[in-house]
Amino acid sequence: MGLEVNIDHCYSIKDIRKQKGDIYNMLMNTYLKPQIVFEKGDGCYVISKSGEKYLDFSSGIGVNCLGYSHPAILEAMVEGSSLMHLSNLYDTEQDRILADKLVKRTGLDSVFFANSGAEANEGAIKLARKYSFDHYGSGRDEIITLKNSFHGRTITTLSATGQDKFHKFYMPFTAGFSYAEPNHLADLLSLVTEKTCAILIELVQGEGGVFPLEKDYVTQLFNLCQERDILFIVDEVQTGIGRCGQFFVSEEYNVLPDIVTFAKGLGGGMPIGAIVAGKKCKDTFGLSDHGSTFGGNPLACRISNAVVDKLNRDFLISVRENGHYLKESIARLNNKYIKEVRGLGLMLGMELTGVSASDVRNMCLEKQLLILTAGNNTIRLLPPLIVNKSQIDQCINILNEVLLSI
């Protein structure tokens, strides 16, 4: 019990193993975790085993968009419980219903379901290369991504990720990727060759520090892609499903990508990812060209249907309003450690100076507020999209107390 309330440090699994004589934990040592065991969730709060209530401005890394124990999700879980899985060999209707919704909401044309962001991106890369193969033959397979991007943890999506720290140990990585400086058109143009088949970008770089791309730059990239039949792929794994105040952030940028990927918020907590393709590659994958055992799982799709139904016009307006309120409230703190606030909707980055983001995160944890970092000096706020103004005030009060105590 004592360990659960006394959070002086974060411990790695290895520390816990040592402490507990290696008996209790056979997890690989890949995550640093605080010594709190969480048991339940309710709205924007998670509750520890010892009964303490934490305000969650991390949403399971942008996943729990309707918060915890949302009635629509609970209802879908119960309704779907007797047919959790059947496989893609049979029709369970839920995937078709969800695909129709995604097509309507995006203005794109066809959908493939995966189970995670990395898998959706991996599939999008395959889709782009197959499109190019079908139209131009082999060899036109290069993909340009941006520096500071993040696209996932498979060997290929690590390759797509434009950060050197992810290009270690696991060689050989998938070939065919090059990385352009964000918001620098000439740099990207210098990488375009006859072999370029796609450009893959996040419109707001998430893990890289919450950096929205400039609108003009995105328009120019989009036009370049149109002119040269280079597929314009937008990774909306983090920005999509209402996070930035639109159904997907491409709307905010006024571009209709050739391929969009979703995951994180799509299942409201259920693992699911999606590749949504426009006219050009809606039929590029034919029978057996791609597949997944769990992809399109009826329970995941049923829950995702409930999530997507909640994201109506009024809901998205509230995301924009609350995002604006959160951003303004941070700016009003006028604290010397805050260098900048940026982002869209409820995907905000607070860049710090003179203090490390992880120290601030750990101090907030002690005051029962969960927040994220992105890079060494940026706090990332991804509250559930159902957050209200009084919860935002509560978050701001804690942040203020913490920053004033340094």
**CA–CA separation, 38 vs 332, rounded Å?**
32
We find the least distance from the C-beta atom of residue 206 to ligand PLP, in angstroms, to be 4
- On whether the CB atoms of residues 101 and 308 are closer than 8 A, the answer is yes
Q: Please tell me whether residue 12 adopts helix, strand or coil conformation.
A: strand
Rule CB under 6 A: say whether 64 interacts with ligand PLP: no
- Only one residue has tokens 């005051």, namely 367
Residue 68 zone, left/alpha/beta (φ > 0; ψ -120 to 50; rest): beta
Tally of CB atoms within 10 A around 376: 10
| Residue placing its CB nearer to ligand PLP in the complex, 238 or 305 | 238
| Residue placing its CB nearer to ligand PLP in the complex, 378 or 391 | 378
Contacts of residue 197, defined as CB under 8 A and 6 or more positions apart, other chains included, come to 128, 129, 131, 132, 136, 140, 141, 142, 143, 230, 231
- Which residue is at the shortest CB distance from ligand PLP? 117
Rule CB under 6 A: say whether 238 interacts with ligand PLP: yes
| Residue placing its CB nearer to ligand PLP in the complex, 125 or 338 | 125
Which region, judged by CB under 6 A, interacts with ligand PLP, from 35-43, 112-120, 290-298, 367-375? 112-120
What is the Rg, in whole angstroms, of the alpha carbon atoms belonging to the chain? 21
| Residue placing its CB nearer to ligand PLP in the complex, 239 or 322 | 239
We find the least distance from the C-beta atom of residue 235 to ligand PLP, in angstroms, to be 5
**CA–CA separation, 66 vs 265, rounded Å?**
9
Residues 177-216: x where in contact with ligand PLP by CB under 6 A, - otherwise, as a string: -------------------------x---xx---------
Residue closest to 126 by CA, chosen among 299, 297, 291: 291
Rule CB under 6 A: say whether 122 interacts with ligand PLP: no
- Only one residue has tokens 């998430």, namely 206
We find the least distance from the C-beta atom of residue 153 to ligand PLP, in angstroms, to be 6
Residues 319-338: x where in contact with ligand PLP by CB under 6 A, - otherwise, as a string: --------------------
Find the binder of ligand PLP among 116, 132, 159, 284 (CB under 6 A).
116
Partnered with residue 54 across adjacent β-strands are: 46
The full DSSP string for 268-327 is BTB--EEEEE-GGGTTSS-TTSS--SSTT-HHHHHHHHHHHHH--HHHHHHHHHHHHHHH
Residues 144-173: x where in contact with ligand PLP by CB under 6 A, - otherwise, as a string: ------xxx---------------------
| Residue placing its CB nearer to ligand PLP in the complex, 238 or 329 | 238
Rule CB under 6 A: say whether 252 interacts with ligand PLP: no
Point out which residues bind ligand PLP (CB under 6 A). 116-118, 121, 150-152, 202, 206-207, 235, 237-238, 263-264
